[in-house]
Amino acid sequence: MPAKTFLNHHTSVVSLLSSILLIALLSVSFSLLAAPRPIPAAPAVAASGYILQDFHTGKIIASSKADERLEPASLTKLMSAYIVFTELEKNNIGLADEVLISETAWRTGGSRMFVEAGSKVSVENLIKGMIIQSGNDATVALAEYVAGTEGAFAELMNHEAKLLGMTSSNFQNASGLPGKEHYTTATDLAILTRALIANFPAYYPWYSQKEFTYNDITQPNRNKLLWRDDTVDGVKTGHTSSAGYCLVTSALRDGMRLISVVLGTKSPDARARESQKLLNYGYRFFETRRLYVAGESLSTSKLWKGNRDQISVGVNEDIYVTIPRGQDDALSATIQIQEQIIAPIEKNSKLGIATVTFGEEVLVEQAVIALDEYSEGGLIQRLKDTVLLFFE
């Protein structure tokens, strides 16, 4: 072979091999780019028990000893507030009602609003004293106003806890002072907090208030994250020597609300730091999406024997999902509607099911319903559709 021909041939082979190698490297690079990013383990949290949960979906993002019975300290006041808010919604009491402060309430130890025995204080001010100042005296005054005695109020708390599905909680008082049979869990407190935020949006903003003044005494909210993180808008601190330092936190970032419960830390700074650690982890590596909006038409189907040809279907509750951030490709949503829909159809009648999956995991199964009422059509329409259905 002539030297020139050999060199050209050799160069062509090298060029071909280089191209193959480049293509292989690019394929590996693209496959690495396309591969889902691994989600690291949740950070270590220095607490007796904790949980991080998405508000909309209820997905537990991180937890440890979340079902272990622990003392709630002043986190108890979340349940006390839930009862008071319920009574307000039922119009059994009013924010402007003047509450006579008993000597029992005035003598209650621990953190105080500094109400005076024999004075009258509005329900609204007592609520703010309970939430912002964590006043035990204010909490007992509210309990007595709602139920007559704090013991009777505790019965209401335990009844409501069972209705909410708080299966591992028992309350002996309204304020959170230590008691042998006064306990809850991080899981139960997350359940309670979700319900409180969802059911009482008019009152929830009080949990973000940074200070409250009563009787010429200004006290700051003990939740340090209200100053450190603008997305944090609640919820409640707690502390006794036996319970340690506790904090229930909620934050809202770009439409995603997370709830963290941290129980039994060593200091006020520790409960804030560990809570912030959990929130940052949740927002960094997970995202919550609203896939379907309640009341909006998701699809239309043929309506037989009806006053209209088509029927609109949707869902009666927003459908949210929480998934690892950046893994949208594994998310799938389908809607299955029954084959023949025959009038009359009542509004909210179940006509199918919406299913959302993430990989092989079913995240949501929710009924698909009629968004309106559909009555029967005229005689001719019904007869025509009867014939068509026969051939169907």
Rg (CA), the chain: 30
DSSP 27-63: HHHHHHHHSPPPPPPPPP--SSEEEEEETTT--EEEE
Phi and psi torsions of 67, nearest 5° = -105, 10
Catalytic residues: 74, 77, 134
Q: Which of 265, 210, 352, 287 is nearest to 75 (CA)?
A: 265
The answer to whether 340 and 368 have CB atoms below 8 angstroms apart is: no
Query: Rounded to whole angstroms, how far apart are CA atoms 334 and 321?
Result: 14
Q: Collect contacts of 167-175 with beta carbons under 8 A, ≥24 apart.
A: 168/67, 168/69, 169/79, 171/76, 171/79, 173/76, 174/76, 174/77, 174/80, 174/139, 174/140, 174/142, 174/143, 174/150, 175/74, 175/76, 175/77, 175/80, 175/108, 175/110, 175/136, 175/139, 175/140
Query: Rounded to whole angstroms, how far apart are CA atoms 74 and 92?
Result: 25
